[in-house]
Structure 1
Amino acid sequence: MLLLLYVINYLDRVALSIVLPLVEADLNLSPEQFGIIFGAFFLGYAIFNFLGGIAADRFGSLWVLGAAVALWSVFCGLTAIATGFWSMLILRILFGMAEGPISAAANKMVNAWFPRRQVATAVGLVCAGSPLGGAVAGPIVGYLAVSFGWRLSFVIIAAIGFVWLCFWIYLAADAPEKSKRVTEAEKAQIEQWKREEVVSLKGVVEPRRSMWSYIKLPAILGTSFAFFASNYTLFFFLSWFPTYLMKAHGLNIKEMALATVIPWVVGFIGMTIGGVLSDFVLRKTGKPVLARKIVMVTCLGCAALCVGLSGFVTTLYAAVGLMSMALFLLYTAGPSYWSVVLDNVDKNSVGSVTGFLHLCGSLAGMVGPVVTGFIVQQTGKFDSAFLMAGCVSLTGAVVLFFLLREPRIKSAPMVPGEAV
């Protein structure tokens, strides 16, 4: 259900990027105005990343996620009645506010259901829904927009969220012990895992601390900045790459919708194997922070090179190929960001600290699309925007290399090669 949630989340989110040329012509909006609209989404989104995490810690993930899906589906559908810049701007802010709690609440639920040594794998499988949603968005929204118009397409995709919500209310639970669908044998196994983790953490993890004391740890601050850098490139792709393909390479909306599937598919593969890779390195090194650091620094640095070069190639295949590789690397590192929090933060503060991490990443969504829109407006080209995204990602890798170190709250020791 969480995987499907992420699919729907990204399907709804990227829909505007897919139909941007149609909306641009219909509402007479400039690239700079669209940059502001894309950035406005993240104004509401970033604030509720944090507030949603706090709400998940207080009220549980089940109802926070259900309320979020209901609200964002409403605002997604209302996009169909936008008449100009200001109405679109307000709707995108509200839409972003509704989507904000998703990652923090979902990560808290993963933390409640999975053993600590499997969280990266679990988070990777859940979050793989994001690029999968981006992959299916192009063909689905492109087809709907061409067949029924861009306005009706938003109403149709909004309905998908309400279908998911009906199943969620019937099937989901905050934790195994609250679920009617977990057998007694499974509950006993889960309790055994929890007891083993309590024993392994005894004398290693300090007593529960305040949310702010966790946030001030160098490991959390370094990871948060790197997540900002990673998301700058991701949201640059999310907001502007479809338009780049149409304007720089002459694709029509159908061709563009198909071309954007490729980067999202490789991103789905990257996110799926990223958590497995992170947990594999953890078992080999026995050091959680080092394991996450190796994966994140390597992937973010290589992604920076790929995206920086993408704006200077002259062929469609080279551009799509380089951006596909960049997205693959960014998503491969994705589960490790969340795992740094899950490795080092008390379960009662996981939602809040995860929300802070997501807040930092979402600030890139506020800045990146606006900066890109300004660059394109001033230069009439995208090459400088690609270079900017590459430099931001490289900076994130460098900061992560120096700041991410073992926190004062140490993770439980592991024996290298220990089986999960």
Structure 2
Amino acid sequence: MFKKYRWNIVLMLFLGNALNYVDRTAMSVALPILNKRFELTPFESGLILSSFFVGYALFNFVGGYLSDKVGPKKVMGSAMVVWSLFCGLTAGAYNFVSLLIVRLFFGFGEGPITATTNKTMNNWIPVKERATAVGICNGGAPVGGALSAPIVAFASLAWGWEATFIILGVIGFIWALVWWKVSADKPEDHPMVSKEEVAEINAGRIEIASTEPTASAQVKVSLLSIIKQKRIFALLLGMFGYNYTLFFFLTWFPTYLVDARHLSIKEMGFAAMIPWIAGAIGQLLGSIIIDYIYRKTGKLLFSRKVVLVTCLMLAALCVGLTGFVNDVVSAVSLMTVGICFLYLQATTYWAIIQDIVPRDRVGGTSGFIHAMANVSGILGPSITGWLVQTTGQYTSAFVLAASLAMIGALAVAFFVNGPKVPKNQEVIV
């Protein structure tokens, strides 16, 4: 299976997502150093972390929409160039305002990656492999997070935090050059993809060009009519809860370990890496479990929902309990289990979109849901900073993240539905 050319695309997207999270998480890991350098308050630190998500959320939608219109190859390559540029420019920041501005534009660059990855997978991967492929691609995120914590911590101490961001920017430019060489918008556009592989990718597709399962396959629908659906809003709530919890961990957990659990920067680098490793394992296992359930039951949407709802609830429980423990071992252990469950269900949102949305609207719908869900990234870090500064502790921040995740899981459980697809047949989306 992995000898097919399409797995080269999956590999590149895995590496791209890994670099995305190394670059993104680098600020969170370096933040305890920057707090001292620029004398930042907890609320100012929260604003810097939130500023990334302003640009990021906006370009989730813009990138997804453009991937439908101009193709994922151009969007992904351009996004990598932009975010790598501003990753490097972070080294030139000299105060609170400059950090805020650079992080805003850095978010613009990173915004398109997830929706564009989803669009690329929809073009390149047959349904029987899709959840696994998306899981591998998105599995780069926790791998990148795991690598970022120790690498950025040690590099910042050894060479200075400025050098770390410059090096990461250069690596991004190298990835972009390779991407332009090896990728294409669709398999039929690539000279190294055989006709047999193209046929395998496209075999068994069933058009869903309408929002209603029983409607004619030839009816075209607008993006607006799709995103107004109740099931799309429920899926958005689920992703909002997931993202809020993930971004709370990504942005504040390293500082929590230093501030509340009194770890050194080196110790924090190792401790913060452990949950990310569990997340990487969970990402891949979740995709395998989803495809296994689908093969056994023939129920496409059920295979996604049962994993999403169960794992998101368990993640919420672990994160909420973390706020009440009093030692670093318990905190890291609970967050490790929680992040594992969080990533076990991470693939499901993108798979569900592909199951229930017409093919020519996958990028735009993915971008819209991702953009709205990532408002959590704008609000969450600032709210966390305000809660910590106001209460002097992190307990309420953990409880809030857990509550939002639980609400999202319940919304998906009760309101997300879709067309019934016979076993071994694919939805073209």
**Higher mean displacement: 232-241 or 147-156:** 147-156
Cα deviation 1:313-340 (Å, max 9, x = unaligned) = 1221111111011111111111111111
Residue in 1 that maps onto 2:111: 100
The Cα of 1:120 is off from its aligned counterpart by 1.5
> What is the CA–CA distance in structure 2 between the aligned matches of 1:44 and 1:221, rounded to whole Å?
22
Does 2:425 match 1:413? no
Residue in 1 that maps onto 2:32: 21
The Cα of 1:57 is off from its aligned counterpart by 0.6
Residue in 1 that maps onto 2:75: 64
> What is the CA–CA distance in structure 1 between the aligned matches of 2:119 and 2:68, rounded to whole Å?
8
1:340 partner amino acid: I
Residue in 2 that maps onto 1:308: 320
1:250 partner amino acid: H
1:414 partner amino acid: K
Residue in 1 that maps onto 2:376: 364
Does 2:396 match 1:384? yes
Residue in 1 that maps onto 2:137: 126
Does 2:338 match 1:329? no
> What is the CA–CA distance in structure 1 between the aligned matches of 2:343 and 2:367, rounded to whole Å?
19
Question: Aligned pairs, how many?
Answer: 410
The Cα of 1:292 is off from its aligned counterpart by 1.6
Aligned with 2:179 (options 168, 186, 189): 168
Cα deviation 1:11-54 (Å, max 9, x = unaligned) = 00010111111111111111100111111111111011001111
> What is the CA–CA distance in structure 2 between the aligned matches of 1:91 and 1:359, rounded to whole Å?
20
> What is the CA–CA distance in structure 1 between the aligned matches of 2:188 and 2:215, rounded to whole Å?
26
Change (3 A) 1:24 1:205: farther
Residue in 1 that maps onto 2:229: 217
> What is the CA–CA distance in structure 2 between the aligned matches of 1:174 and 1:133, rounded to whole Å?
25
Does 2:269 match 1:260? no
Does 2:22 match 1:11? yes
Change (3 A) 1:57 1:320: same
Aligned with 1:141 (options 138, 141, 152): 152
Q: Is the 8 A contact 1:267 1:332 kept in 2?
A: yes
SS in 1 for 2:421: coil
Q: Is the 8 A contact 2:314 2:341 kept in 1?
A: yes
Does 2:122 match 1:111? yes
The Cα of 1:415 is off from its aligned counterpart by 6.4
The Cα of 1:344 is off from its aligned counterpart by 1.2
The Cα of 1:361 is off from its aligned counterpart by 2.1
1:275-294 alignment runs, 5 A limit: 275-294=287-306
SS in 1 for 2:191: coil
The Cα of 1:204 is off from its aligned counterpart by 6.9
Residue in 2 that maps onto 1:80: 91
Residue in 2 that maps onto 1:347: 359
> What is the CA–CA distance in structure 2 between the aligned matches of 1:392 and 1:224, rounded to whole Å?
12
1:232-247 alignment runs, 5 A limit: 232-247=244-259
The Cα of 1:7 is off from its aligned counterpart by 0.4
Q: TM-score, normalised by structure 1?
A: 0.94
Residue in 2 that maps onto 1:226: 238
> What is the CA–CA distance in structure 1 between the aligned matches of 2:191 and 2:108, rounded to whole Å?
32
Root-mean-square deviation (CA, aligned residues, Å) is 1.8
1:148-159 alignment runs, 5 A limit: 148-159=159-170
Residue in 2 that maps onto 1:47: 58
The Cα of 1:184 is off from its aligned counterpart by 3.7
Between the aligned residues of both structures, percent identity stands at: 43
Residue in 1 that maps onto 2:3: none
Cα deviation 1:268-327 (Å, max 9, x = unaligned) = 011111112122222333222222221111011111110000011122111111101111
Q: Is the 8 A contact 2:207 2:358 kept in 1?
A: no
Aligned with 1:197 (options 205, 223, 237): 205
Residue in 2 that maps onto 1:37: 48
Change (3 A) 1:210 1:200: closer
**Higher mean displacement: 225-234 or 395-404:** 395-404
1:214 partner amino acid: I
Cα deviation 1:106-131 (Å, max 9, x = unaligned) = 11010001112332121111100000
